[in-house]
């Protein structure tokens, strides 16, 4: 967009076109997306904004249906529109109409065999898999480094897309149908983008995709992540590499070894358990059980006792019995997770689970959700208390004279897993890595005291 003459602004009220990136995964996220579109539409009554355009997963998943249901959106653009988004926005801004697409199953756009997908990828719109180099005039002074990207803030943390899509067929999830089959970005693109981000002052990168444990399978090497992580950790300026969203059924001993022993790679495990009762997991088309999951966690902690582990769980799944719920409680009580997300089951259009019988009453689902949420809150607080007395490496993310200095330790991912309040901010600035001793807790959050002479990420530390 910048290459085509558009100027990005921080305040939506200053925009001629407000582009809203939507989510199409669960009802709460869809509602948030619609609310954001309506909020942007209000700008047209008392600002310079002339058009509101929906993009992202909800726009891709529903297309014409969303356009008809939400006339406040002046345009609904799917993934196939992204390569020509500048022209699309100009048409809409000029009063023209760009017809929203009819959604299709994006799993059918790439070959079934992962080994054949890379050759076909150029013909398919894959958000985040852009061209290898920045165009002339937009590249940083050190030369072309990364796929087309523009940083919108000065945060010391940035996400890096590792792959797109998913080949798993969980019965409750519609994501593969609108995100498509799994396809990896090439290691060189991931490395180049990371180098570029480091030049912009980024200290921590978070590798994201729908399933990071599958990385490389379409490139002929299912263990490619194990070799890529050390290379990313060696990029000048990068102090921490974090991997999100790992499938328990695909965890490999070699990957556990790399995540627990590689300098600058966070021993952090975002494991998608979803439940632990065998019957529920099979109905979800997933694998494992309480004892296998606990064994996995024991293996991880035998190599890195202070490793961070988070997960999400669905309660009230069709057919879930009281015994199944008790089994989930048994796992949660023994797992010592640092962060727990709990969701009540609801039908997702187009999923296998939506056709299941033995649906639980909404009141029962709500009751179980409240019960497990209370348990989860208690358990993560207990886990935080276990960290009192430990030394943690904290990446400083905000410094405020009134609110104090906040950052995150290795076991805390951005926005989801809590944060660390440092008792002293003397000499600290955003982007600093500091060693600190945990002296207290506030729920999932930690309170820590910086250790004298432990500041990293500085010229002094480098020398």
Residues of each annotated binding site: 166, 170, 173
Q: How far is residue 249's CA from residue 251's CA, in Å, rounded to a whole number?
A: 6
Contact 270, 295 (CB under 8 A): no
Q: How far is residue 78's CA from residue 75's CA, in Å, rounded to a whole number?
A: 10
Distances 347 to 120, 247, 255 between C-alpha atoms, Å: 33, 22, 34
- Residue 277, classed as helix, strand or coil, is coil
Closest CA relative to residue 153, chosen from 314, 1, 8: 8
Q: How far is residue 194's CA from residue 211's CA, in Å, rounded to a whole number?
A: 19
Contact 30, 65 (CB under 8 A): no
Q: How far is residue 123's CA from residue 121's CA, in Å, rounded to a whole number?
A: 5
Alpha carbon 50 to chain centroid, angstroms:
31
Three-state DSSP string of 332-385:
HHHHCCCEEEEEECCCCCCCCHHHCCCCCCHHHHHHHHHHHHHHHHHHHHHHHH
Q: How far is residue 257's CA from residue 225's CA, in Å, rounded to a whole number?
A: 12
User: What is the Cβ-side half-sphere exposure of residue 130, based on CA atoms within 13 angstroms?
Assistant: 17
Q: How far is residue 456's CA from residue 454's CA, in Å, rounded to a whole number?
A: 6
Residues of each annotated binding site for [4Fe-4S] cluster: 166, 170, 173
Q: How far is residue 55's CA from residue 78's CA, in Å, rounded to a whole number?
A: 6
Residue with tokens 């760009």: 98
């Amino acid at each position: 967009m910048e290459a085509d003459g558009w100027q990005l602004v921080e305040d939506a009220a200053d925009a001629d076109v407000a582009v809203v990136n939507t989510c199409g995964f669960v009802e709460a996220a869809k509602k948030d997306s619609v609310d954001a579109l309506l909020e942007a539409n209000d700008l047209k009554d008392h600002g310079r904004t002339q058009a509101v355009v929906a993009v992202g997963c909800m726009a891709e998943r529903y297309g014409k249906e969303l356009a008809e249901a939400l006339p406040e959106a002046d345009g609904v653009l799917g993934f196939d529109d992204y390569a020509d988004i500048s022209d699309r926005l100009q048409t809409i801004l000029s009063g023209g109409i760009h017809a929203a697409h009819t959604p299709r199953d994006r799993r059918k756009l790439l070959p079934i065999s992962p080994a054949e997908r890379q050759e076909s990828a150029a013909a398919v719109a894959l958000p985040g898999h852009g061209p290898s180099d920045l165009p002339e005039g937009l590249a940083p002074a050190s030369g072309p480094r990364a796929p087309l990207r523009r940083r919108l803030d000065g945060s010391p943390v940035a996400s890096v897309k590792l792959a797109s899509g998913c080949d798993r067929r969980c019965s409750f999830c519609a994501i593969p149908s609108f995100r498509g089959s799994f396809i990896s970005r090439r290691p060189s693109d991931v490395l180049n983008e990371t180098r570029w981000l480091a030049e912009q002052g980024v200290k921590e990168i978070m590798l994201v995709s729908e399933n990071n444990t599958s990385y490389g399978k379409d490139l002929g090497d299912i263990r490619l992540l194990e070799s890529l992580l050390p290379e990313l950790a060696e990029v000048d300026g990068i102090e921490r590499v974090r991997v999100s969203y790992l499938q328990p059924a695909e965890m490999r001993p070699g990957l556990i070894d790399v995540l627990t022993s590689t300098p600058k790679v966070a021993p952090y495990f975002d494991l998608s358990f979803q439940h632990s009762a065998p019957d529920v997991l099979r109905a979800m088309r997933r694998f494992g059980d309480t004892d296998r999951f606990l064994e996995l966690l024991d293996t991880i902690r035998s190599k890195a006792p202070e490793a961070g582990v988070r997960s999400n769980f669905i309660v009230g799944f069709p057919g879930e019995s009281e015994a199944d719920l008790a089994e989930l409680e048994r796992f949660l009580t023994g797992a010592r997770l640092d962060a727990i997300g709990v969701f009540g089951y609801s039908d997702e259009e187009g999923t296998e689970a939506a056709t299941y019988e033995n649906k639980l009453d909404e009141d029962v689902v709500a009751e179980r959700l409240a019960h497990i949420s209370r348990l989860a809150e208690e358990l993560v607080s207990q886990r935080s208390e276990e960290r009192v007395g430990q030394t943690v490496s904290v990446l400083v993310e905000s410094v405020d004279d009134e609110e104090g200095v906040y950052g995150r330790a290795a076991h805390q991912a951005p926005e989801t897993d809590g944060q660390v309040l440092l008792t002293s901010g003397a000499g600290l600035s955003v982007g600093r890595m500091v060693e600190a001793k945990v002296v207290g807790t506030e729920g999932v959050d930690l309170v820590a005291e910086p250790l004298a002479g432990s500041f990293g990420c500085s010229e002094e530390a480098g020398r």
